[in-house]
Amino acid sequence: MDAKTVRDVDVTGKRVFLRADLNVPLDDGKITDDSRIRASLPTIVHLLERGATVILASHLGRPKGKVNDGLRLKPVADRLSQLLGRPVRMTGDALGAGVQVAVDKLRPGDLLMLENLRFHAEEEANDPEFAKSLADFADLFVNDAFGAAHRAHASTEGITHHLPAVAGLLMEAEVDALSRLLERPAKPFHAVIGGAKVSGKLEVLEALLSRCQAVLVGGGMANTFLAARGAELGASLVEADQVENAERILGEARRKRVRFMLPTDAVVATQIHARARPRTVAIGEVPPDQMVVDIGPQTVAAYTEHLGRAKTVFWNGPMGVFEIKQFADGTNAIARALAERADAGASVVVGGGDSVAAVEGLGLATRMTHVSTGGGASLEFLEGKTLPGVAALLGMDAEIASEKTA
C-alpha cells in the first residue's frame, strides 16, 4: 500500500482515533460471526503494545441517525474483551461531555470504545463539525475499516481533514491483496460469483471480464443469465429487468473469449425452508411450482474441475441458499475446492459477506490466501473505483473520490 501505515509512525504516548469495522451480524443480541472483530486485533494490539491511547470507533447496522438499543456496540465490546483478555470500557455515546471526561482519563495503553457512530446522522452525512469533534479526541487517525472505505463518512474521510492519518494493518492487507488481483494476478485467473441478484454485480462482472480467463456463476443471479439463454426456471428468482444486461454480459464474455460458466443442473424445492424436500433436476427441467436453491452435483463437479487449473481465484457470493443446510452443498463444495487450491499454492481471495461466512463456518478461512472483511468495498475496489476512505489516506481529493464511487 502506498499510504503510510501504523508501522511508519511513533504512536507512543499519542491518543489514536482508531476507526475499525466492527459491523458484525447479530441474532437476538448475540454475535453470529466475529471475524471482523478478530481481523481488527492486530492493529489494536500493535497500538496498545506501543503505548498508544486508543479511542476505538465503529458503526453497527443501519440505525439511520437515531439511537437503537438493538444496535448498541456492547456485544462487540464484550467479545473484544474476551479476545484481548482485558476489559473494554464503553461510552454511552460517540460524542458529548461524558465522552470527553472518559477520554481525558485515559492513559497510555488504555482502550476506550465509543458507542455506535451511526446513532448520529452527521456520521453518514460526513458533517464537517461532527468530523472535527471526533478528531478533537486524538493526535492521530488510524483507519482500519476497509469494509467502510467505500463510503465518505465523517469517521472515514472527514476526520482526515483535521488529523494526520495512516492506515491500519488490516486496511494495508486488504488493499495489497485486492491490488494484486488488479495488477498482477497469476494466470489462469478465475472468478466465482454468486449471490441473489445480477443487479448489484454488473460492474464487477464487467471489470472481471477484462482480467479473468473464466467466470463461474451460481446463486440466484445465475437464474437471470440462464433466463437470458431461454431456460425455463419455474418459480425461481429471475430479475426480468436485468435479462438484457445479462445478455450483454454474455456477449461481452464471448467477444473477450472468457469462459462464462453457468449451472447445468440445480437443486430445487417448493419453498425456502429447513423442512423443504429438495431434489436435483437438469437446468430447463425446473417444475413450474419449484425454485432453484443451489447448484447441482453435475455443476459442482464441473466447477471444481475447472478451478483445479486456476492459479488465482476471486470468490464473492454463495452458490445457493447456504444458510439452510440442505441447500448448502454447492457453496460448501466450492469453499473446500478453493481451500485445496490455496494449499496447492494458488492465490485465493474470498471477497466479503456470505462467502466469508461460508469459509468461516467450515473452518477454512485460515487456508485461504486472503479473506476480505469488505463486501461492497472489495467489489468496488475490483471495479477500479477509488474508495474515499483509501483516497483520504493517500492524500487524494476526497470529493472527487466520492463522485467516482457514487
Residue 200 appears among annotated catalytic residues: no
Active-site position among 158, 220, 317, 353: 353
Cell of 241: 429487468
Active-site position among 158, 320, 375, 376: 376
Burial (0-12, 13-18, 19+ Cβ within 10 Å), 84: middle
Residue 187 appears among annotated catalytic residues: no
Contact, 148 vs 389, CB < 8 A?
A: yes
Active-site position among 36, 118, 201, 341: 36
Cell of 104: 481525558
Q: ω before 188 within 30° of 0 (cis)?
A: yes
CA separation for the pair 142, 137 (Å, rounded): 13
Closest by Cα among 319, 341, 318 to 190:
341
HSE-CB of 245 using CA atoms within 13 angstroms: 18
Active-site position among 4, 38, 197, 404: 197
Contacts with 166 (C-beta within 8 Å, 6 or more apart), sequence order:
3, 4, 5, 6, 8, 9, 140, 141, 142, 143, 393
What is residue 359's three-state secondary structure? helix
φ and ψ at residue 17, rounded to 5 degrees: -90, 110
Segment holding 260, helix H or strand E: strand 259-261
Residue 96 appears among annotated catalytic residues: no
Enumerate the active-site residues: 36, 197, 353, 376
